[in-house]
Amino acid sequence: MSFGVFMHKDGSIYDDIPEVHYQFPKIYLSRAKQLVGDWIVYREPVKLPNSKGFFAVAKVERIIPDPEKAGRYRALIEQGSYLPFEPTVPHIVNGEPVERDLANAQAALRPLSASDFARIIALGLPEDEFLPRSDDEVFDRGWVGEERATFEIERPIVQSLVSKPFRKRAFRRAVMQAYDGRCAVTGWKLVNGGGRLEAQAAHIRPVEHGGPDSIRNGLALSGTAHWMFDRGLIGFRDDLTILVHRKVNDREGVEAILNPSGKLIAPNRRSDRPHSQFLAWHREHHAFVE
């Protein structure tokens, strides 16, 4: 099994949609081919202001010539494999680089050692159930033991990455953090007596319809707003204006619970905001007509 790193920067010259495909020049083709069928982690450049560091994991399905740009290629991401990290993993933790094998550190597309992959996943998707247990700790101050990582951590981590319950929890955690637990439609941030947020993590394009477990394909919605969104009673323009569908029988009632701005309350980080591709799918699927 191989692992790799894909460097991504929003607004770069490359046409990336990390949840769907990664575009790269021919110089990286041989490296990319070695990652087909295997897992990669996404990383923002170190020099990027407020860099998120490592921010997601995904599986490469296949490599194709880019249909729109000569001399470039696309690594297509396997449907249902993309998963955002929460928390995102900084480049350096406790004074040490998270990615320790730095032989190819400047390359935008590069191999990643099994121990580095395990360390990044353990920090980005912290969940006890897939971490190994033994008398002599494999984890030391949050770091994965180099020798035993490949044998004792690789398999359980990969199994967790395809586990539906695990992915559901990781998706909810990432979306709730991005939206600060606040419903993007109503603006409510309600907490029950047990300390649980009332808002739910909703997919814009459902997983069963090819949608990824991505923050940009996610919304924090109250129960009522979630119910309305899933049934196409409300939607969003690309500028995040809230739309009320013509089939709604109580338009005044729906409009009464919308936040005063009339727009989706988006995450502070631009790269976490809903992607226009997913919003457009929802509008088309539910036949919104303005």
CATH of the domain at 156: 3.10.590
Token pair in block for residue 236:
């969003």
Other CB atoms within 10 Å distance of the CB of residue 229: 22
Most confident stretch, 39-48, 107-116, 237-246: 237-246
Within a domain: 105: yes
8 A C-beta contact, residue 66 and residue 72: yes
pLDDT > 50? residue 144: no
278 shares a domain with 151: no
139 shares a domain with 34: yes
- Among the three residues 161, 188, 208, which one is the final residue of a domain in this structure? 161
User: Over the stretch 248-263, which tens digit does the pLDDT of each residue have?
Assistant: 999 999 999 999 999 9
pLDDT > 90? residue 287: yes
pLDDT > 50? residue 134: no
Q: Residue 279 is part of which domain span?
A: 164-285
Within a domain: 116: yes
- Among the three residues 130, 161, 192, which one is the final residue of a domain in this structure? 161
Work out the average pLDDT over 152-158. Answer: 67
User: Over the stretch 193-247, which tens digit does the pLDDT of each residue have?
Assistant: 778 899 999 999 999 999 999 999 999 999 999 999 999 999 999 999 999 999 9
Q: Is the dihedral of CA 231, 229, 186, 240 positive or negative?
A: negative
Could you tell me the pLDDT band of residue 138, with boundaries at 50, 70 and 90? very low
Number of domains in the chain: 2
Dihedral (Cα; 41, 46, 50, 55), 10-degree rounding: 0
pLDDT > 90? residue 128: no
Within a domain: 70: yes
Within a domain: 37: yes
80 shares a domain with 208: no
157 shares a domain with 70: yes
147 shares a domain with 171: no
109 shares a domain with 40: yes
Work out the average pLDDT over 102-123. Answer: 87
Within a domain: 259: yes
186 shares a domain with 281: yes
152 shares a domain with 51: yes
| Region of residue 122 (phi > 0: left; psi between -120 and 50: alpha; otherwise: beta) | alpha
171 shares a domain with 277: yes
Q: Which helix (DSSP H) or strand (DSSP E) does residue 144 occupy?
A: strand 143-144
Q: Which of 71-85, 87-101, 245-259 has the lowest mean pLDDT?
A: 87-101
Report the percent of the chain where pLDDT is more than 90: 75
Q: What pTM was computed for the model?
A: 0.86
Work out the average pLDDT over 151-164. Answer: 74
pLDDT > 70? residue 188: yes
8 A C-beta contact, residue 175 and residue 201: yes
The DSSP letter of residue 263 is B
Report the percent of the chain where pLDDT is more than 70: 89
Q: Which of 1-5, 123-127, 164-168, 268-272 has the lowest mean pLDDT?
A: 123-127
Token pair in block for residue 102:
């730095």
> At a CB cut-off of 8 Å and minimum separation 6, what does 120 contact?
41, 54, 57, 89, 98, 99, 112
Within a domain: 54: yes
User: Over the stretch 5-34, which tens digit does the pLDDT of each residue have?
Assistant: 999 998 899 999 999 999 999 999 999 999
39 shares a domain with 14: yes
Within a domain: 290: no
Confidence at residue 131, expressed as pLDDT on a 0 to 100 scale: 41
151 shares a domain with 177: no
138 shares a domain with 16: yes
Beta bridge partners of 59: 39
Distance CA(106)–CA(259), nearest Å, equals 45
pLDDT > 60? residue 108: yes
- Among the three residues 135, 161, 187, which one is the final residue of a domain in this structure? 161
8 A C-beta contact, residue 242 and residue 234: yes
Q: Which of 98-102, 127-131, 266-270 has the lowest mean pLDDT?
A: 127-131
